[in-house]
């Protein structure tokens, strides 16, 4: 019986993606695997108390126990609220439709 499980840790920046494959002891948590991966040393901007974490695209907690072949994802904080961006876009669309601009005058 193998005494380790294989996992991946991924972190994506705007212009760079990091994927590290490693073996960890059974019963390891998400946070332990991230620490063991060296990702925190390579990217000091990662803060496990701030960054959200996921396994295969589903949010998870740092103390979640890993299974063989899990892929841990470290998410960056959002720089803009998606709801606010959509609202502003919708307002701009309404303003453009109402006035007609220079094309309507011709």
| Higher per-residue confidence, 97 vs 88 | 88
Question: Per-residue confidence at 29, pLDDT binned at 50, 70, 90?
Answer: very high
Per-position DSSP letters for 37-84, written without gaps between them: HTHHHH-TT--TTTS-EEETTEEE-TTPBP-TT-EEEEPPPPSS-HHH
* 101 vs 64, more confident: 64
- pTM across the whole model: 0.72
Least confident of 22-26, 66-70, 74-78, 91-95: 91-95
Query: Is pLDDT above 90 for 82?
Result: no
Mean pLDDT of the chain: 86
Delineate the domains of the chain, giving CATH numbers in brackets.
5-78 (3.10.20.280)
pLDDT surpassing 80 at residue 96: no
Q: How confident is the model at residue 86 (pLDDT cuts 50, 70, 90)?
A: confident
CB 14 within 8 A of CB 31: no
């Amino acid at each position: 019986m193998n005494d380790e499980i294989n996992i991946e840790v991924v972190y994506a920046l705007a212009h760079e993606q990091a994927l590290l494959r490693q073996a960890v002891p059974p019963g390891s948590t998400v946070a332990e695997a991230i620490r063991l991966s060296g990702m925190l040393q390579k990217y000091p901007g990662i803060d496990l108390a701030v960054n959200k974490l996921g396994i295969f695209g589903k949010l998870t907690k740092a103390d979640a126990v890993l299974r063989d072949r899990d892929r841990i994802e470290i998410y960056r904080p959002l720089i803009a609220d998606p709801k606010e961006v959509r609202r502003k876009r919708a307002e701009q669309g309404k303003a453009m439709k109402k006035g007609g601009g220079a094309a309507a005058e011709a």
